[in-house]
Structure 1
Amino acid sequence: MTVFARRLALGPKQQDRLERASLLNAACLSGLSVMFLGGAWLPADGAGHRAGPVAAFAVALAGLVVFCLGCAAQVMVAVTGKPAFLLAKEKATGVRPRSLGSDAPASAGTEVSVYRDDADSYAQLRRYEVYVDGKRVGRLRRGELVNIPVAVGSHSVQVRISWCSSGEVPVEVGSGERVSLICRAKPGARTDLGVVTRRRDGFLLLREV
């Protein structure tokens, strides 16, 4: 999906539509799977039952058709936003509760700010989820910033994607103070698939700036 978006030079709005049309992405992957299945079914030397090669070719062709239709539908949805029923409902992003981790109201200007590094090349079409004191308070694309009003005192901040996350970063926020953090995926995450299982709680990096 990331390569697809790059090649078409899609803007943020088009990329958002492409991400929300996950059903089409699944259709493309299913089409590819069926196409490869049909190819694997073809006899290597033409031996076997007479109907075998014909049936295998038909399966592979059906998979190719599904894949091509899925790609064409993705382009149409990304560019035009139609048909709308293929788009999942957009979830609210940004600030959620006014006060987190305490019953006391947040002081004016007292907040935690989390920025996703615009140089982060991992999962560019997906959002990182931001948690403060165990509660989800926002979601971030690459280059986006979320400001979360909090109560004065100690808080823990974490970012997550799927089953992977950063460590919990403790912050101390004074009255009228903004504590700023930056997050990104661990270097090499795109190529080292084993890091997803070896260090799931250190897959994303989050630090105070």
Structure 2
Amino acid sequence: MPSLLKILHFVCSALATAVSVVVLGYGMSTWWAQTTIQCARSESDFFNGTAVITFNLFKGLMERSLCPSFGNTESFEVIPKLRETGTTNLVLYALVVSLLALCLLFSAVSILISLYNAVSNPYETYMGPIGVYTCSSLCVCLSVVALIIYVVNINVTSMAEDLVRSFAQDIPIELRDKTSVMGVGFYLIIPYAVLSVGAIALIYSYEHAAYTHRREQQRPTEDAPKEIMMY
């Protein structure tokens, strides 16, 4: 039976990871970014039209004003719509979704390993602290990579412009002055990563305390008087 200290550390690690899963799940369900683009029929016209795209991870909302016609609001499925606009945008977006799905998977495995260690004393294998370190570290790394790729896809690639043109019904339009604001879902990945680091820190603190205790038990005579050690 594990010690009370081990139970507390591993249960708290599992709890921190569970909270991170809730945070990530909510983040994946809410809006991630909003992009605004100025629009005109041609370069010689005034850019008095606008297109505003609000991105959830799986769904989007396109609001157009004079771009090219009068006000229109249309919802769309992001990945199927990106399949119509270009391969690069689709690949990057699908990669972000895949990385976040892997984060959920590794978080679930980390929870199971932590709970298993809280009720048993496994050997130092992938089912011990090493498993928690590996899974939680992968969660942190994958979530950070997903954030970077998402920012690049929103701000650097022509994903937003291609989406606006796909809704223009083959009417030639000119686009400029793209501005993007990242949303709640995007920023919730940060506390998810922090909680995953916290899960690692909890297990490391237990391992450090257990290692220190073992060292003290292995050298019980170092602090004994020399007279006693002579016998």
Per the TM superposition, whether the score is higher than 0.5 is: no
More helix by proportion, 1 or 2? 2
Q: TM-score, normalised by structure 1?
A: 0.30
TM-score norm. by structure 2 comes to 0.28
Structure with more strand by fraction = 1
Q: Name which structure has the greater RCO, CA cutoff 8 Å, separation 6+.
A: 2
Max Rg structure: 2
